[in-house]
Structure 1
Amino acid sequence: MPSLISRFLERLGIKKENKGTNATMSGSTAALQEWQVKEPYIKLHCALGEGPYFEKATNSLRFVDIIKKRVHTVDLAKGPDSLSTLEFDIPIGVTADIEGVDPQDRILIGAKHGMAVLHRKTGKYEYITKFFAEENVRIRGNDGAIDPHGRFWLGSMTDFGQGPVLPEGALWLFHSKKPGQSMKAPVSIPNSVSWSPDNKVMYFTHSSSRVIHAYDYAAEDGSITNERTFFTYEGQGEPDGHRVDAEGNMWCAVYGDAVVLKISPQGKLVGKIHMPTKNITCVEFVGTELFITTAGMEEGQGTPEQVDFSGGLYRIDVGVKGLTPYAFKLSE
């Protein structure tokens, strides 16, 4: 079956080779918990909203629009009217904090050609290290995360406008300012990376194969071994971005099927959040609330409401806290 995310990219010229009244939870059972989100927290029509990240130091949420090349920030105390936006000349797939650095000054970004530092007051960025010695225009950075050792795992894939989405991407590991190391290749659409609460297991979503992989993660040196299938999605969509909660459950957005899945540490489906639009891209915890990014839909691809609500930012209280993200160690 063709990749749904790739179909979305195809429409862009890439052919494939709330809290309160906004959210409710139905009666949960031992078999399956279910929630329903009714409308966006912020209705802003991202083309490809992604990478939500809780900036604890300022009680704000950052998220990106990869296609429109934007980084959005909303002050959670002030609400949707506080939304601010930086625009760039390159797509940015993900952001992270830097250890010992005020995030209002600088943050880490997964950028077009690799890992970079963004100066938020000026909007300028500078690369720390790149995927390749010679820039490859076909490739861009996508999703990623900082590991318990302060290193950056970042996926790369075919960029927009570069023809077919091919298995030419990789999952990269960046350590301080050293050159990146390809840890898994080839891949087509790499997505979120996360760790279990005890840091013994690493998870990696490969959307185009509909599989979330699990690995043994070594506390001594951060190496990964014993790749295995943690979860395979057999619905109409594809697993996209995810986060792990304090109890070890994974919350995974599903692109194309209007749901967020709650998956147990044993890889079993134990809950679903039903969304009012189809293209769900990623999630992030802020306390017990889950913030959810989405991608745009075109007229005729769903109901008028699904299209109208596409590309928005959503929130819902799920009653459990997420794991605290790690910060990147820029200096050893």
Structure 2
Amino acid sequence: MSTTSVLQEWHVTEPYLHLHCALGEGPFYEAATNSLRFVDIKKKRVHWVKLDEGPASVTTVQLDTPVTVTSDIEGVDPQERILIGVKYGIAVLDRKTGKYEYVARFAEGDNERLRSNDGAADPHGRFWLGSMTDIGLDLQPEGHVFLFGGNPVAQSMRYPVTIPNAIGWSPDKKTMYFTHSTERTVFAWDYSAEDGALSNERVFYRHEGPGEPDGFRIDTDGNLWHAVYGESRVLRISPEGKLVGQINLPTHNITCTQFVGTELFITTAGMVEGEGSDEAVQLSGALFKVDVGARGLEPFTFKLYK
């Protein structure tokens, strides 16, 4: 009797919304307004779409800095202000005016070579955010994983890293996961409910394949739904670190995922002519969605320290 498990598969062919993002990233469900927010890092834009109204309801804010991720702020109406990851750290964005103000920075002096990448608020209301070589420069292992906990300068928790990516927590909040894309590895730590301290670092999942694992979200059963950049797919990874399913998409550069109910929204990055089939290039940078029958964990909110 064979013990080989069959991967559960989903196939997505049409985009939900196509804004031709250069580097679509950071999808976030804004429950207060039933909206999906996401960013375009290269084009320095924050987008949001009202899911009740559909793709025609997109609003875009153009910034003058790479914007990489967003988060709700505890006690603040997200229609007014949200937290954003920007070039030199974290900032609060005024949704009405499009103006932003830094809350905290990566270091005492700004490093022009670096920009933020992916991140998330943790169960303690702090914000974890990676930094990496900025676009257009030679990629080096010079980034950090930073922790913003109320001080004007962040604490470096891991160095050096090359492309630090998604961070998330298991349903019981006892495990923290972190993807280092260039190592094709998802790491796990024991996470302390008392003070948020990390211990017992280990490899949770190591990716075999030409692409690099990018962003993920975790469902209520503890599965990671992990985008793979360069492989036209999202992986479903079990709490034991086993590949148990995949979503196949019609473009190559899959960047991140976000649950809304049982639907998974998926951001992608742009391709240029010659990098793939005409269809793959044409659909690159689009936002996709697919009903996977699972529900995601609620994101934590950032505590804005005065």
Q: TM-score, normalised by structure 2?
A: 0.97
Aligned with residue 271 of structure 2, among 297, 301, 310:
297
SS at 2:267 equivalent: strand
Output the CA distance in 2 between the equivalents of 1:236 and 1:72.
30
What residue in structure 1 maps to residue 134 of structure 2? 159
CA distance in 2, matches of 1:148, 1:31: 35
Identity %: 63
Listed as ranges, the matches of 1:285-324 within 5 Å are 285-324=259-298
Secondary structure of 1:193 counterpart: strand
2:240 matched residue in structure 1: 266
Instruction: Classify the secondary structure of the residue corresponding to 1:86.
Output: strand
CA–CA separation in structure 2 for the residues paired with 1:58 and 1:226: 39
Q: Which runs of 5+ in 2 are unaligned?
A: none
Deviations 1:39-83 (A, max 9, x none): 100111100000000000000000000000000000000000001
1:184-195 correspondence runs (5 A): 184-195=158-169
**CA separation in 1, counterparts of 2:157 and 2:6?**
37
In the alignment, is the contact (CA less than 8 A) between 1:177 and 1:330 conserved in 2? no
Give the partner amino acid of 1:180: A
The counterpart of 2:52, out of the listed 50, 64, 77, is 77
Structure-1 residue corresponding to 2:80: 105
Map 1:196-275 to 2 at 5 A. 196-275=170-249
2:39 to 35, 51, 64: 64
1:306 is paired with a residue of what secondary structure? helix
Q: What is the RMSD of the two structures over their aligned residues, measured on CA atoms?
A: 1.1
SS in 2 for 1:305: helix
Deviation at 1:135, TM superposition (A): 1.2
Corresponding residue of 1:16: none
2:143 alignment partner AA = G
Deviations 1:193-233 (A, max 9, x none): 00000001000000011001001101110011111111111
Gaps of 5+ in 1: 1-28
**1:177: Cα distance to partner?**
4.2
Q: Supply the distance in 2 between the matched residues of 1:178 and 1:139 (Cα, whole angstroms).
A: 18
Of 148-157 and 127-136, deviating more is: 127-136
* Aligned length, in residue pairs: 303
Match of 2:109 among 116, 134, 149: 134
Q: Secondary structure at the match of 1:121?
A: coil
Is the aligned partner of 1:150 residue 2:125?
A: yes
TM-score with structure 1 setting the length: 0.90
